[in-house]
Structure 1
């Protein structure tokens, strides 16, 4: 099989299985697809590693040990073993393992086949009829190349727009699809919801983009970027936006962290002021016990999500913006536990 075929097959496999359009990961996967042919001195891998190629060529037949499950296991152990000490290497380790495996597996469709279960010398081929298998440089292989190019371009296009899950979510336009996108990418990226529906208060139409802050009931607490107002978008009775259709897009990189804070007869502002950081949206959830709290000072907007619910003796917070908490509760003495959700933008 031609080197370009290995590059396309392995690069496309890495893109599809990792659901990525990252050119580095795709390139790693593609190049890894050439490595099994290190057992031939005339191959690209053989020319780069002539001493390794010379050893394999003298001691083993072509497409034997380097084209086997054993070889893939060795590559996986070596790459993921490195990732144990360098966690950032995990995506590259995955691309390397996927690319290498698909690189030799593609040769099952050639006339010579591969010794997939090495050290067994039995050759695995597909299909069984030798005349239907690919011959290197044949018209049939070039036809397959054209198909691979189309698949590769489609995979890159899909993954550059958020991956297969995002595209499926767009198709079904339901909260379950959005939940799947949020679960898979919400910890590393901002998730933007495209919502069509009506406002529960006045039944006015809603058709716009909102940033998802966190799930709530059957829907989500969302932030309107232009106004910085929070809403619950769902089909629940307490929703401010009643959803008719909803899809989600994976937006810019942003790391979401959740930290616990315990307040023990302490000024609330002092306990949470450390979370007031630049390029960070911070939301506070939890329950506090207070004494003689004046509830009349709290903001009241019937069209917005009620993120602070208070009585003279207790305060319940849910996705309350940090700045609002600092403004209205910052000087209060309280006891209780809080969870602070920080969404840190990297762009």
Structure 2
């Protein structure tokens, strides 16, 4: 089998196996795929490491010990310190690249000594006429197919993988929510939503920024004016979705703080926070809140709800600092508050 075929075979199958388009992993797999052929000085790796290949030539046969499960086991054990030291992705690329590098030769006319030290050879298929000959027309055709498969797999994985691609294609709300759960901590997401307004029954076909997954069936999204809606299939939703497609807009970093407040002035604290894409969640006890009343909306998601009383209890779910200031800014509060701030990375 030719060097380009070994590389294409290993890159394609490593990308599919790991569901990755990581160039570091695939590059290691490509290099590792050449290593089994160190048992012959005619190969590229054999010429680069001629003393080793020459010694192996004189003591073993081509496609023998280096093309076996035994050799793969040795590679796994010897390279395992890479995984222990935080380079598990490199380790995975190495062991898969090596394995696919020799396993591809199973389809050649002479096969490989896969079960070394047994001298028997693994050859697929059994019909000799269907086996690959080096530099034959069949191998050139296989190379083109493998390059196409590798390109397709890398393209799919670079866009989130097969599941994400399938979800995008059909736009199922459940699939979009699954995608959001996977991507919400890494990307600023835009949801293209088709459905109906639960209150007015009017059709909805608009884009919204995803705030966060709320449940297994629902999302929180906001429009350009910052109004938050619950979208999905549950009865509590303001928008009943029939189709949701998720678009990755920009990479993000997320900062999360867990704060404990003890009769603190909420206004002075909230004004110090970034106002854009900062979300507050938690339960607060509001002191001296006999006069505190919060309106309830049926056309949008209430990010702040209140259980009134002399000691009122406010529940915040993805509330913005501005809305918290407007409703609770004049009161002292106690309780736990999770502050999640999303920073959009600038494209270079």
TM-score by length of 1: 0.84
How many residue pairs get matched? 341
Match of 2:246 among 245, 248, 254: 248
- 1:231 corresponds to 2:229: yes
Alpha-carbon distance in structure 1 between the residues aligned to 2:98 and 2:325: 54
Change (3 A) 1:223 1:45: farther
Alpha-carbon distance in structure 2 between the residues aligned to 1:80 and 1:249: 38
Match of 1:286 among 282, 286, 289: 282
Alpha-carbon distance in structure 1 between the residues aligned to 2:99 and 2:126: 21
TM-align CA RMSD: 3.0
* Further displaced range: 301-310 or 18-27: 18-27
Change (3 A) 1:13 1:244: same
- 1:203 corresponds to 2:182: no
- 1:178 corresponds to 2:176: yes
Change (3 A) 1:54 1:335: farther
Q: Deviations over 1:291-331 (max 9, x none)?
A: 233534x6876533211102341000111124533554356
Change (3 A) 1:284 1:295: same
Q: Deviations over 1:157-177 (max 9, x none)?
A: 323333211121124422321
Q: Deviations over 1:259-316 (max 9, x none)?
A: 4333333344677778x459x83322211112233534x6876533211102341000
Equivalent residue, structure 2, for 1:121: 119
Alpha-carbon distance in structure 1 between the residues aligned to 2:91 and 2:269: 41
Alignment of 1:98-137 (within 5 A): 98-137=96-135
TM-score by length of 2: 0.84
Equivalent residue, structure 2, for 1:33: 33
Structure 1 alignment gaps of length 5 or more: none
Alignment of 1:275-314 (within 5 A): 276=273, 281-293=277-289, 294-296=291-293, 302-312=298-308, 313-314=312-313
- Contact in 1 for aligned 2:173/2:242 (Cα 8 Å): no
SS of the residue corresponding to residue 295 of structure 1 reads coil
Equivalent residue, structure 1, for 2:320: 321
- Contact in 2 for aligned 1:166/1:248 (Cα 8 Å): no
Q: Deviations over 1:64-118 (max 9, x none)?
A: 3332334334444455532433x3x333333333222222211111122223233
- Contact in 1 for aligned 2:288/2:331 (Cα 8 Å): no
- Contact in 2 for aligned 1:165/1:180 (Cα 8 Å): no
Equivalent residue, structure 2, for 1:92: 90
Alpha-carbon distance in structure 1 between the residues aligned to 2:240 and 2:55: 68
- Contact in 1 for aligned 2:41/2:50 (Cα 8 Å): yes
Alpha-carbon distance in structure 1 between the residues aligned to 2:180 and 2:74: 34
- 1:46 corresponds to 2:46: yes
Alpha-carbon distance in structure 1 between the residues aligned to 2:266 and 2:91: 45
Change (3 A) 1:29 1:208: farther
Change (3 A) 1:162 1:53: same
Change (3 A) 1:70 1:261: farther
Match of 2:163 among 129, 140, 165: 165
* Further displaced range: 327-336 or 139-148: 327-336
Structure 2 alignment gaps of length 5 or more: none
Greater CA radius of gyration, 1 or 2?
A: 2
Alpha-carbon distance in structure 2 between the residues aligned to 1:270 and 1:41: 74
- Contact in 2 for aligned 1:186/1:256 (Cα 8 Å): no
Alpha-carbon distance in structure 2 between the residues aligned to 1:327 and 1:83: 51
Change (3 A) 1:100 1:277: farther
Deviation of the 1:232 alpha carbon:
0.8
SS of the residue corresponding to residue 144 of structure 1 reads helix
